[in-house]
Amino acid sequence: MIAYPTIDPVAIALGPIKIHWYGLMYLVAFGSAWALGKYQAKRAHSPVTPAQIDDLVFYGALGAVLGGRIGSVLFYNWSSFVQDPVYLLRIWEGGMSFHGGFVGVLLAMEFARRKYGCGFWQLTDFIAPMVPLGLAAGRLGNFINAELWGAPGRVPWAMQLSCEQFPPELYADFAGPLCFSPRHPTQLYEMLLEGFVLFAILWLLARRPRPVMLISACFLLFYGLFRSGVEFIRLPDAHLGYLLGTDWLTRGIVLSLPMIIVGVVLLVLAKRGGSNAAIS
């Protein structure tokens, strides 16, 4: 058991100006995407040039932030938005949806591919390895914010929280033992799986000849599997709880299942079109 360290969510305070760790994680995410994009764009058969990476990352960042925030409101926090519309703008408090950001990035890439004159799947294959390290940074931000905890756990790395860090009144209906019960640090599990493991898989695939669409398919498939797997021990949002009267089905699983299904379909299509190899 490890005592959860109390971390001030504000990284830098300059008078009335406060810079939160969660916001800095977005800078890390977009910075890592930019660096990886610059590196990949130097390879043969890249759908974009190194000079185009700046704009590409800007489009992707815009899609991720707008889509992530709008998705969070639509999928998880509609009632909060209805009560306080300014809630939509308070990104530093958390409340970003990966699935909403994912849709936003896809729309941004459709715009970019029309501008650059490349294929949609060629471009998504290109950007997929640029995403997981940013996801890892985001999950670290969740950990710093002391949010998205898991169920009680007996593993040596389970985190001991105080009642202030894990408000019992929010989870009384479904979270089991509350205060002083060590919990799975599911933010760190997702940082490892959705971040570092997924990056390793996609980066290795990107370094060898492969069918067009394969990397995109693997991103969808493995992200969906990793996210759904962690969701079985990650507590749902307190105001949503488990769905359909179950003690396991969460909104995250529901949103990830289509990614798994589409990933499998794209994987089959990519294998069938194996002669169309994109050589790195």
Q: Assign 176 a pLDDT band (cuts: 50, 70, 90).
A: low
Q: What is the dihedral of CA 115, 117, 119, 122, to 10 degrees?
A: -80
Q: With respect to residue 256, please indicate whether it lies within any of the assigned structural domains.
A: no
Per the domain annotation, does 245 fall within a domain?
no
> Each residue of 145-168: pLDDT tens digit?
988 999 889 899 999 988 777 877
In a domain, 253, yes or no: no
DSSP code of residue 242: S
Confidence at residue 276, expressed as pLDDT on a 0 to 100 scale: 52
Domain coverage including residue 89: 2-209
The domain total for the chain is 1
Residue 250 lies in a domain: no
Q: Is pTM, for the whole model, over 0.85?
A: yes
Buried b (16+ CB within 10 A) or exposed e, 206-237: beeebbbbbbbbbbbbbbbbbbbebbebbbbb
- 138 in a structural domain: yes
Q: For the chain, how big is the Rg over CA atoms in Å?
A: 20
Q: Is residue 255 part of a domain?
A: no
What are 230-254's pLDDT values in tens digits?
999 999 988 888 999 898 999 999 9
Identify the pLDDT of residue 87: 81
The pLDDT, as a whole number, for residue 275 is 44
Q: What is the pLDDT of residues 32-80, one digit of tens each?
A: 999 999 999 999 889 999 999 999 999 999 999 999 999 988 888 888 7
- 120 in any annotated domain: yes
| Contact of 207 with 274, CB cutoff 8 Å | no
* Residue 231, in any domain of the structure: no
Q: Report the distance separating Cα 243 and Cα 258, nearest Å.
A: 17
Type of residue found at 139:
R
